[in-house]
A = this chain, B = another copy of it.
Amino acid sequence: MLYISSEKIIERLSLYRRVLSQLHDESATVVFSHQLAAPADVTPAQVRRDIMQLGCSGIPHAGYKIAHLLTAIEDVLDAPESQRAVLVGVGHLGLALLNYFSERWRKLRIHAAFDVDPSKGNTIIRGCPCYPFEELYARVRAWNIGIGILTVPADQAQAVADIVCKAGVTGLLNFAPVRLTAPDGVYVENVDLTTSFEKVAYYARHPAEFKHIKESQ
């Protein structure tokens, strides 16, 4: 089993995999570093370094075997057995994620959803069972689930985080515009839509300021 220390590399591996999967579906068998570099907005040298860390080797002038890379990336990114998450908050964003992640990965999936709205309790949404919010703690603990996805309003996010952390999750994917506090050992990934929107707005007004980013292609 291979451990990767850097967050940035993990993110790029996910991107590489997406491109590799597509190439694989198109029946390609080999890939060059520059083919992976362009979609990930990095240099070919960066790609080669990342692949080096995976323990893979290419063939000069002939590139890398796609199948080898895919296997190596799976070894890093995918759980050996299967990994499950719960989603809390079945609003529009929650539904979008349920659509998005339904069936797409065998090894990583949303196992159940929870919502305070009683009308959503004990229904099945996009193939995913939805339970009453009150059952959150007991079910996460009983199922031994490791990931919590929070798509609840900002003022409830911390309370929900506390519950699922106490129930044993070690990873949180937080969509609420709040910075959560979580116990040591729990990884928190924030998807901050406000920040993303404001950032785009800033650079949309100052097109000169990011010239260097585009030149990396």
In which size bucket is the chain A interface?
A: 35 or more
Question: Which of A26-34, A52-60, A76-84, A127-135 lies at the binding interface?
Answer: A76-84
A214 within 8 A of B: yes
Decide: A108 and B197 in contact? CB cutoff 8 A.
Answer: yes
Given the complex of chains A and B, what is the CA–CA distance between A191 and B108 in angstroms?
19
Which of B100, B185, B191, B198 has a CB less than 8 Å from the CB of A207?
B185
A117 within 8 A of B: no
Tell me how many chains of this kind the complex includes.
2
Decide: B146 and A205 in contact? CB cutoff 8 A.
Answer: yes
A119 within 8 A of B: no
A72 within 8 A of B: no
- A residues 27-74 touching B (CB-CB < 8 Å): 39-41
Decide: A177 and B146 in contact? CB cutoff 8 A.
Answer: no
Known contacts A14-B198, A198-B108: does B191 contact A204 (CB below 8 Å)? no
Decide: B204 and A3 in contact? CB cutoff 8 A.
Answer: no
A99 within 8 A of B: yes
Given the complex of chains A and B, what is the CA–CA distance between A185 and B200 in angstroms?
12
Given the complex of chains A and B, what is the CA–CA distance between A112 and B42 in angstroms?
34
Which residues of B are found within 8 Å of A4, using beta-carbon distances?
Answer: 202, 209
Decide: A92 and B83 in contact? CB cutoff 8 A.
Answer: no
List 9 other contacts, CB 8 Å, given A4-B202, A10-B199.
A7-B199, A11-B195, A14-B195, A15-B192, A40-B179, A96-B96, A146-B204, A187-B207, A191-B191
List 14 contacting pairs A-B, 8 Å CB cutoff, sorted by A: A4-B202, A7-B199, A92-B92, A93-B100, A149-B197, A171-B204, A173-B196, A173-B200, A186-B207, A187-B204, A187-B210, A189-B196, A189-B199, A191-B196
Interface residues, chain A, with chain B CB atoms under 8 Å away: 3-5, 7, 10-11, 14-15, 18, 39-41, 76-77, 79, 83, 85, 91-93, 95-97, 99-101, 108, 146-147, 149, 169-173, 177, 179, 184-187, 189, 191-207, 209-210, 213-214
In the A-B complex, the 4 residue pairs with the closest CB atoms: A171-B204, A187-B203, A92-B96, A93-B96
